[in-house]
Amino acid sequence: MRRIRTLLSAAAVFVAAALIVAFVPTQYVLRAPGAAVTLVGSGLDEPPVITDLAGADDASDGAGQIIATGLDQSGRQTWVTLGSVIVYFLMPDHDVLPRDPVYASGVTASLNEEAIHEAQDDALAAAASAAKIDVVQRAMIQTVRQYGPSDQLLAPGDFIVAIDDKPMSDANSVTTYIASRKVGDQVVVSVLRGVEEQKITIPALGASSTNTALATLGVALANGYSYSPHITVRLSDEQAGPAQGLALSLVAYASLTSTRLTASGRLVAAVGEVSATGSVAGVAGINEHLASARNARASMLIIPRENCREVVDAGGSMTIVPVSTLAEAIAAAQRPPDSPPASTC
């Protein structure tokens, strides 16, 4: 009888421990290699980067491929169990991280979406500059408040060129000028919509939600970039986030210049955040991105130079090329397969 009680007690402890492992949530974030996305290469039904240059996308015909690596990460509200933490800790190319440093307090989904779109704009502006296209920084409308003073008049993507015939250089200049006006004032906003400049009258400025004496257009602004031809990205935010900026810049450059960046049959992966001036910054989860490129059978992975010290596995037969600028990345992608890179990790 004593033995049975002992066995039952042990079984109860085991079941309790199993339930804890299986169901008790933890304050951790899980990272794993994600799926790579082909950005340039033969066989694409629709080009992911589109310009209004006739024939610009012919650069992909018969060329090698450029891919953006992926990173799978559990979300802010994802239920991460202790069992999952243990499994990810033991698996190669997987990471377990404390939740708070990854998901900073106060960063909402909308703010994260804005950051993604700003990173895309920066990457495309850098590509345009590399293609010797004039790029002008302007105040760009991100969102228009419903029922606000500019509702149905201004639109997301509009560039504000001037207000009341006074030139506006960036988002801050727009905010400063509107703040100098009074609630109820009429203003005329000159916007660049596509390739056409229009003058739009805002009948009456609204009041700020935080200060009723402060005038507002009722729009959210960011610094965007105006250039021609226009570039459109046909990718989801998950496929073209900040870490995919370098790959996006490369494919945009190839599209704008009708250049074949890679030799036929060659698969080049890239990861890194690109500023509008063409500098390449490091990204989180570099080893997961490396595994993503390896799983896609890439022959080369171009990464930010500052991530080199974090690389755990050199990639086997895959060459890892560190870069600090988009220009260096373009040169690396164009390097003949039989010639050594300028530097490796």
> What is the pTM assigned to this prediction?
0.76
HEC assignment per residue over the chain? CHHHHHHHHHHHHHHHHHHHHHHCECCEEEEEEEEEEEEECCCCCCCCEEECCCCHHHHHCCCCEEEEEEEEECCCCCCCEHHHHHHHHHCCCCEEEEHHHHCCCCCCHHHHHHHHHHHHHHHHHHHHHHCCCCCEEEEEEEEECCCCCCCCCCCCCCEEEEECCEECCCHHHHHHHHHCCCCCCCEEEEEEECCEEEEEEECCCEECCCCCCCEECCEEEEEEEECCCCEEECCCCCCCCHHHHHHHHHHHHHHHHCCCCCCCCCEEEECCEECCCCEEECCCCHHHHHHHHHHCCCCEEEEEHHHHHHCCCCCCCCEEEEECEHHHHHHHHHCCCCCCCCCCC
pLDDT value of position 107? 45
| Res 72 pLDDT > 60 | yes
What's the mean per-residue pLDDT of the chain? 81
Q: What percent of the chain has pLDDT over 90?
A: 41
Q: Please tell me the distance from the alpha carbon of residue 286 to that of residue 320, in angstroms, as a whole number.
A: 12
| Res 94 pLDDT > 60 | yes
Residue listed under structure tokens 């991105």: 289
Q: Please tell me the distance from the alpha carbon of residue 44 to that of residue 34, in angstroms, as a whole number.
A: 20
Q: Please tell me the distance from the alpha carbon of residue 62 to that of residue 310, in angstroms, as a whole number.
A: 35
Q: What length is written for the chain?
A: 345
pLDDT tens-place string over residues 155-212: 998 999 999 999 999 999 999 999 999 999 999 999 998 778 999 999 999 998 888 8
Q: What percent of the chain has pLDDT over 70?
A: 79
| CA 163 from centre of chain | 31
| Least reliable range by pLDDT among 94-98, 124-128, 217-221, 260-264 | 260-264
pLDDT tens-place string over residues 46-70: 566 655 543 344 444 434 688 899 8
Domains within the chain, CATH numbers bracketed: 28-130+229-334 (3.30.230), 136-226 (2.30.42.10)
Q: Please tell me the distance from the alpha carbon of residue 281 to that of residue 295, in angstroms, as a whole number.
A: 24
CB atoms within 10 A of CB 99: 14
pLDDT value of position 269? 93
pLDDT value of position 2? 58
| Res 16 pLDDT > 60 | no
pLDDT value of position 149? 95
Higher pLDDT, 17 or 299: 299
Q: Please tell me the distance from the alpha carbon of residue 173 to that of residue 230, in angstroms, as a whole number.
A: 24
Q: Please tell me the distance from the alpha carbon of residue 308 to that of residue 343, in angstroms, as a whole number.
A: 11
pLDDT value of position 325? 97
Burial class (CB in 10 A: 0-12, 13-18, 19+), 331: middle
